[in-house]
Chain A
Amino acid sequence: MDIFLQQIINGLVQGSIYALVALGYTMVYGIMGLINFAHGEVVMIGALISITVTSTLAAAGMPLGLAGLFGLVAAMLTCMALGWSLERIAYRPLRGSPRLTPLITAIGMSIVLQNLAMIFWGRNYMTFPPLLPKVNFEFAGTHFTLVQVVIVLLSAALMAGLVFLVYRTKLGMAMRATAQNPAVASLMGVNINRVIASAFVIGSALAAVAGVMVGSYYEIAHYQMGFMLGLKAFTAAVLGGIGNLAGAMAGGILLGIIEALGAGYIGDFTGGFLGSHYQDIFAFIVLIVVLMFKPSGLFGEKTGDRA
């Protein structure tokens, strides 16, 4: 039972990170129907920027906590600028072109960003400076650290903020209108370009935070860290029903917990036949099973006839 609780906690932490990244995918998808494959790379750039800024400031004598805060802000600002330029340079000229065209552009941008990062930061794993003191908590036989608590609380706060933005502000209303029907929304005076750009900017800011979280959780960062993370987050978004905010959050947390439980118990389920390196399979099998019964995800509305 202790292991079960422990895995739930680990899964919750990983899942909150997935959820933050998944929100970026789902916002962009909901508004313009594009799978932004480069989103995972934005997470990676966020993590690497925050390492560079934090360690430079810390080396200059600033206390680590404050340097970390500056690192986080710098990562968010850079990623917001990056998200905005991605939309402006790569995707906006392609609106109205065949559906797979922006997908290939996104893949191209992902390759470009990954290799730019490799040129700037090199091929080696970078150690992430410990931003928070190592405090351990114990509760009902489970152990968790301060970093884990902060990750879960901060993601919850950010998600609440996003929900407020989308459902209670004018920009949010414009976003929802654009997602439903861009042509009609623009007739009602919504500036479509601004709405789409802001979806990219907000998604990228969340991605930057997620990058810093992943970095400080595993204490390393690497130019290839974004790809698999992005893929998992995209899986989470689809699991919840892509284009749906609540779905992305639920999907992310669910995926994190399924993975953690899968890794912990797969050996017991199969009598030792499959080991914990089959962890990644779990996420995909759950996805396939869910989509067999609910073809538009757990919370998704029925999608239109687009191939």
Chain B
Amino acid sequence: MKNWLSPKSMTGIALIAIALIVLPHVVGMGGQAWVRILNFAILYVFLALGLNIVVGFAGLLDLGYIAFYAVGAYCWALLASPHFGLHFPVWAILPIGALMACVFGVLLGSPTLKLRGDYLAIVTLGFGEIIRIFLNNLNSPVNITNGPQGITLIDPVKIGDFSFAGTSQVFGMTMTGPEKYYYLLVALALLVIIINVRLQHSRIGRAWQAIREDEIAAKAVGINTRNIKLLAFAMGASFGGIAGGIFSAMQGFVSPESFSLIESIMVLAMVVLGGMGHIPGVILGAVLLTFLPEVLRYAVTPVQMALFGKILVDPESLRMLVFGLALVLVMRFKPAGLWPSPERSRELSEKPVEAVK
């Protein structure tokens, strides 16, 4: 264990803290839209870390992860909006959302424990689609989710009388809504990161890794693989649930469209592209993949104008085209991800026999 109180690491921590505090103001110079994107990046860090528990630590391929995000988001939306006339306080809804997501995690996990690899992938994918289709259609005969129109006018996060939405004075400083959410999200993200780091090196974390490497051997050394796998699903799901709750409070609006399969795939891409099972890598992946499409959105039109003098191809499709190519290229040249864990890259570089060439 590193000594956290040594002068060197203290300086590092202080620098990171200053950077995190200043960041929204720097990014905000380009407009509040960028602060909002920054907030989404942090939400995706939540999601990617949650999925990393399932995929990275325990080695269970989950393609329906966004379902838990949806459960959390709809929990908040239903318990704090005029839709049912309920307005629960934040410290009640967030735990409820996390718990509901956790229940769904176990619900998904328990019938699929026997499945391996890609069979598990397709079942989780189906599960995600089932949740989305239900959200889309549960507006009749009893209107629960308001169908494809979604739920509007959702309460923002409020602690006491302090609301995180809208511009207000905080400690004598004027802060916009996105900036306030940013600080809330950073605080939560730090907590989530600490939990993840501690989990990874705990007894449970090592049990997950054992299952990932060899399930039969893990069973043989006395790990209760069933419970430990369920725990991975449940914990990953509850992180997704919390992220979903904040998403819905931040947006003030949820609809089933936000929870399509492509979102699950994006979160998985963040985990794999960053470096599966390695927490700093996963964070990097989430931040990069949130910002890349947004930066491209602003970059493709001027670049085309500069190169050809006119807009040759639709900027929206060009942006996604570049994004897809970036995924392919990163995987081509960094197969273990951009920032893999040291052990993992060592394993990969010492391949004993090349089986297939």
Contact = CB atoms under 8 A, between A and B. Distances in A.
Interface in B127-173: 127, 129-130, 133-134, 136-137, 140-141
Which of B141, B323, B324 has the largest count of A CB atoms less than 10 A from its CB?
A: B324
Given A95-B356, A100-B276, A105 B119 contact: no
Interface residues of A, number: 59
A291 interface: yes
Which of B61, B127, B272, B318 has the largest count of A CB atoms less than 10 A from its CB?
A: B272
A279 B336 CA distance: 39
Contacts of B356: 95-96, 182-183, 186, 192
B351 interface: yes
Q: Is the interface of A mostly helix, strand, loop or mixed?
A: helix
Interface stretch (A58-66, A107-115, A150-158): A107-115
Interface in A158-201: 182-183, 186, 192
Contacts of B118: 29, 35, 238, 242
Interface string B106-129: 000001101111110111011101
A94 interface: yes
A107 B323 CA distance: 11
A201 B104 CA distance: 41
Interface residues of B, number: 59
A269 B276 CA distance: 44
B98 interface: no
B216 A305 contact: yes
B116 A295 contact: yes
A23 B272 CA distance: 27
Interface stretch (B8-16, B30-38, B186-194, B326-334): B326-334
B214 interface: yes
Contact of A104 (B115, B127, B331): B331
A209 to B, nearest CB: 24
Contact of A96 (B60, B314, B355): B355
A107 B328 CA distance: 8
Contacts of A288: 111-112, 123, 126-127
B343 to A, nearest CB: 13
Contact of A273 (B59, B141, B276): B141
A295 B115 contact: yes
B268 interface: yes
B351 A96 contact: yes
A275 B265 CA distance: 28
A107 B324 CA distance: 8
A100 B355 CA distance: 18
Which of A100, A102, A235, A277 has the largest count of B CB atoms less than 10 A from its CB?
A: A100
Contacts of A101: 272, 331, 335-336
Contacts of A118: 314, 317
A291 B119 contact: yes
Interface in B168-213: 212
The list of the 3 closest CB pairs from A to B, nearest first, reads A108-B327, A111-B324, A284-B126
Interface of A: 29, 35, 90, 93-105, 107-112, 114-116, 118-119, 123, 182-183, 186, 192, 231, 234-235, 238, 242, 272-275, 277-278, 280-281, 283-285, 287-288, 291-292, 295-297, 303, 305-307
Interface of B: 55, 59-61, 111-112, 114-119, 121-123, 125-127, 129-130, 133-134, 136-137, 140-141, 212, 214-216, 261, 265, 268-269, 272-273, 276, 313-314, 317-318, 320-321, 323-328, 331-332, 335-336, 348, 351, 354-357
